[in-house]
A and B are shown apart, each in its own frame.
Chain A
Amino acid sequence: MEFTEFAVAAFAVLGAGIAMLAGLGPGIGQGYAAGKGVEAVGRQPEARGSIITTMILGQAVAETTGIYAFVIAFILIGLANGVLG
């Protein structure tokens, strides 16, 4: 195998790993939203339904960056697989 091919594959996989560092952000964000949601339910138990709906909506939007990172990591692993044949 050519060294350049090996390097491309190696750096693509490394890049996939680095891209997944973006998983930190949604984790913190969603956890924060869930914590605030619990606080809100504790304060107003009768509004539980709409609090959960709003919380999930916010979490879904916060998740977007993590999903983008996953898609990019996936493309990079696919690239490495393609190079290595």
Chain B
Amino acid sequence: MEKALEGASVVFEIFGIPITETIVSTWIVMAVIIIGAYLITRNFNKLPSGAQNVAEALVEGINDFTVQTMGEKNRWFAAYAGTLIVFIFFANISGLFGLWPPTADTGTTIGLGVMTFFIIQYQGIKNKGIGTYLKNILLEPIPIIFAPMNIISELATPVSLAFRLFGNILAGVVVMGLIYSVVPVGIPIPLHIYFDLFAGLLQSFIFTMLTMVFVSMATETE
């Protein structure tokens, strides 16, 4: 509980820049994903076997899911969606291995939210044209008076995405900390399955799916 209240602690400093546990766990997660991806895709065969089956099923599943949610013209988005879901899932379950989950830090989640925000705005401008884009924000549904509300609602998207992920994972960390301080042995094991594995998978799925929905809303030209 105390650990969760303090947040990620500083491990060491490089040239006065504090390197927190969040950054270290992010590096570990990145290393696991990069090395894993390299090892699995190193020698692909015509006839898939072993890990290749898993990788193909994952890529196919993400492609199908993207097309199902966003339509055939947005198939390109599967690359970003896949990266997002894999990174957030590994970040969420890193708590299982005694690391501080990077997603239980507002730094990581707001970073992801801001990336989504810029994709939404860029796609909105690209697909609707700068004129329609500005008109939608400034002149709909009542000219000028509603512009601040439209801008706030645009800015609320990344904030709500970021805090949803952050809150869910931090809640898991806090509850697990409380349980560990009462019963340190036995009882926490099944709860880890729920708070780390289930919530971790669900939240990575939800973050990705909401990103897809927002982006496909931005790319829609009525």
Report which A residues bind B (CB closer than 8 A).
53, 56-57, 60-61, 63-64, 67-68, 70-71, 74, 77-78, 81
Query: Is B8 at the interface (CB under 8 A from chain A)?
Result: no
Chain A interface main SS type: helix
**Contact (Cβ within 8 A) A60 B164:** yes
Q: Is the CB of B206 within 8 A of A78?
A: no
What is the chain B residue whose CB lies nearest that of A65?
B160
Interface size bracket, B side: 10 to 19
**B100 located at the interface, meaning its Cβ lies under 8 Å from any Cβ of chain A in the complex:** no
CA distance A57 to B207 in the complex (A): 10
Pick out which of these stretches binds chain A: B37-45, B90-98, B168-176.
B168-176
B188 at interface by CB-CB < 8 Å: no
- A63 touching B164, Cβ below 8 Å: yes
Q: Which residues of B contact A (CB under 8 A)?
A: 5, 69, 160, 163-164, 166-168, 170-171, 174, 202, 205-206, 209-210, 213
Question: In whole Å, how far is A77's beta carbon from the nearest beta carbon of chain B?
Answer: 7
Query: Is there contact, CB below 8 Å, between A64 and B164?
Result: yes
Nearest 4 pairs between A and B by C-beta?
A67-B167, A60-B206, A70-B167, A71-B167
Is there an interface contact between B206 and A67, defined as CB atoms closer than 8 Å? Answer: no
List of B residues within 8 angstroms of A70 by Cβ: 167, 170-171
Give the CA-CA distance A64 to B163 in the complex, in Å.
8
Q: Are B5 and A67 in touch, CB under 8 angstroms?
A: no
Residues from chain B with a CB closer than 8 A to the CB of A71 are 163, 166-167, 170
